[in-house]
Structure 1
């Protein structure tokens, strides 16, 4: 007999400003409790040290969490020069200290320029990347070093926000799978003195920004005041805002909901699309095939 999931059906996304010192899963469970939601998931964990944008998916929105995970991310990162830690951030034990050379803005800019565009990164041993079914950080805590091949990532934007004698702050926009701790470590290595992250704030994830993110304490305040949090939810289809929309007629919608591809006379190109029956009824995610058909990929429940 299957276990009945506790909670009520809640469908949509809530964008939360994650506080420092809290795991992403603990935040997810706290917000799920506030909403009384039966089903929930997040779109990629942030380190406990990090703050900022964390979109949380509820109900039917969880079907699109992987698509959201694949989206570009944005960060503000502050780094300390001359100190290298085990984890690449200030939560880790100090591994080495080195004198910081005199750096002017031109010298730092020339190093940053080498990290813009397509680069390769070796993931940190203190990452959640899995090896033989286990996250790397579990091996690291056991003192086991696992060989990690370099992985290609793209740094779309890397801007020097501020600079001090032994620290700097950068703004980064990057593709999925980019480790900001590793980026800072590599910048420190290129400068010859090492570096680690002292503060990290995510400013963009899955198209959602800090302006849309609600602090946890505000959610708690509203709930304790008797307010419903449902009006704060973004609709399920907002997770796919980066996809073009296609409107289907009655017959086409029926075929899609039955798992069948449909041919669209005016459709060109390929890729992911949002599917609608009429102007407002969201059906789910589709794929335009090279044959000119629209095939269902991930459909939402139709009540």
Structure 2
């Protein structure tokens, strides 16, 4: 039937990923709800994890990399005294140890794992080797050498430590594996540890305040709404603008005549106080986002990454 046809959807949405499904499974459900031709997510969350999963639709996918490079924040609960094969509670317990560290040792551990540190990602990760995710090798009992990664832990804040469980707020750079961080912390403390609950609470400047759930989106899909196509209008009204992933960049407005040249990939003479920076370029009259431009030291705006459609 006509309402099952895929649509050109453009915009940005923050989904509260539910526990127990993969990030890709979440994406496929969202694409089905919106009947979207093209969409992608930013920053993989493990099936065990919940929280912010940014979804870019259509033209917004062109700018997802900029958000992927952003810092992230997490709330994590870990269990001490047990190490698992996957570094989280979805894995098999491979070692049990007594919890015997003192508070001063915990304080030292938190200091050691704050700042620039190195990590060797778990075999149960989405990093690819020869085009195949590591977790697929791991499931076959294959262990491969992994490169050391250097990441930054800006904040490792202890919230609560009671019995076998310990809770943290973590602010970290891109590329950080929280499961690996908790595993390494447990090894340093001599008792082992694994993640039992993980929630991403911030990506770049985006917090949980604008999160929507899959169940909420599904409420728009009653038969009457689908028949009248009302649901798609209502769903699309939830989307943020195409340039939301790059809204940390300064805006530059150009005239309608300049925008015609810019859309053709031509340089624009433009006097600006901004130098050596990417900028969001909008048409002044209609406030239409045209794409990203780059201003170097000279007063020239160079097209950098353009959108193929031009909407508000």
Compute the TM-score of the two structures, normalised by the length of structure 2.
0.89
Give the Å deviation of 1:291. 4.9
CA distance, structure 2, for counterparts of residue 147 and residue 75 of structure 1: 27
- Find the counterpart in structure 2 of residue 195 from structure 1: 193
CA distance, structure 1, for counterparts of residue 99 and residue 33 of structure 2: 47
1:20 equivalent to 2:26? Answer no
**Secondary structure in 1 aligned to 2:168?**
strand
CA distance, structure 1, for counterparts of residue 244 and residue 65 of structure 2: 14
Equivalent residues in 2 for 1:37-52, closer than 5 Å: 37-52=36-51
267, 289, 311: which one aligns with 1:261: 267
Deviations 1:172-210 (A, max 9, x none): 111111100011011111111111000000111243221
CA distance, structure 2, for counterparts of residue 288 and residue 183 of structure 1: 39
CA distance, structure 2, for counterparts of residue 143 and residue 257 of structure 1: 52
- Find the counterpart in structure 2 of residue 94 from structure 1: 93
162, 169, 184: which one aligns with 2:160: 162
**Secondary structure in 2 aligned to 1:301?**
coil
Give the Å deviation of 1:154. 1.2
Q: Size of the alignment, in residue pairs?
A: 298
Compute the TM-score of the two structures, normalised by the length of structure 1.
0.92
CA distance, structure 1, for counterparts of residue 148 and residue 298 of structure 2: 36
CA distance, structure 1, for counterparts of residue 127 and residue 140 of structure 2: 16
Give the Å deviation of 1:6. 4.7
Give the Å deviation of 1:92. 0.6
239, 249, 263: which one aligns with 1:243: 249
Deviations 1:208-241 (A, max 9, x none): 2212111211111233383421111111111111
1:54 equivalent to 2:61? Answer no
Give the Å deviation of 1:284. 1.2
Q: CA RMSD in A?
A: 1.9
- Find the counterpart in structure 2 of residue 288 from structure 1: 295
CA contact (8 A) 1:120 1:151 kept: yes
| Greater shift in the superposed pair: 39-48 or 246-255 | 246-255
Sort the Cα spacing of 1:278 and 1:42 in 2 relative to 1 into closer, same or farther, 3 A: same
| Greater shift in the superposed pair: 249-258 or 277-286 | 249-258
Question: 5+ unaligned residues in a row in structure 1: which ranges?
Answer: none
Question: 5+ unaligned residues in a row in structure 2: which ranges?
Answer: 226-230
**Secondary structure in 2 aligned to 1:21?**
coil
- Find the counterpart in structure 2 of residue 218 from structure 1: 216
CA contact (8 A) 1:14 1:232 kept: yes
CA distance, structure 2, for counterparts of residue 34 and residue 140 of structure 1: 33
CA distance, structure 1, for counterparts of residue 117 and residue 301 of structure 2: 35
Sort the Cα spacing of 1:109 and 1:293 in 2 relative to 1 into closer, same or farther, 3 A: farther
